[in-house]
Amino acid sequence: MGKAIDALSKVSGLSNKNIESIWEDVKENGKKLSECSKPHDFQKEKGKRFNDYICSLCGGKVSASSAKWYNEGLEDGK
Ligand SMILES: [Zn+2]
């Protein structure tokens, strides 16, 4: 992970520490999503960044477009 973080730091201008904490968030979010009892119940997150959707069951977050496709897929599968 060290080399990848150095490379990302150069490209993004973020410090290694910032990138590590973002990476931790991503891992934690992925863990929540994979451990969800499913199906996810993605709802627009109130008062937060406009493009975040959060699952009411597991608390995992996804982008608006991911939530849209997931919800449409659920509807189609009914
Ligand atoms: Zn979920």
Q: What pLDDT digit, counting tens, does each position of 13-45 carry?
A: 999 999 899 899 999 999 999 999 999 999 988
Q: What pLDDT digit, counting tens, does each position of 38-62 carry?
A: 999 999 887 765 668 999 999 999 9
Distance 8 CA to ligand 1 centre (A): 29
Distance 5 CA to ligand 1 centre (A): 29
DSSP letter string, the chain? -HHHHHHHHHHH---HHHHHHHHHHHHHHHHHHHT--SS--EEEPTTS-TTEEEETTT--EEEHHHHHHHHHHHHHH-
pLDDT number for residue 27: 95
pTM: 0.74
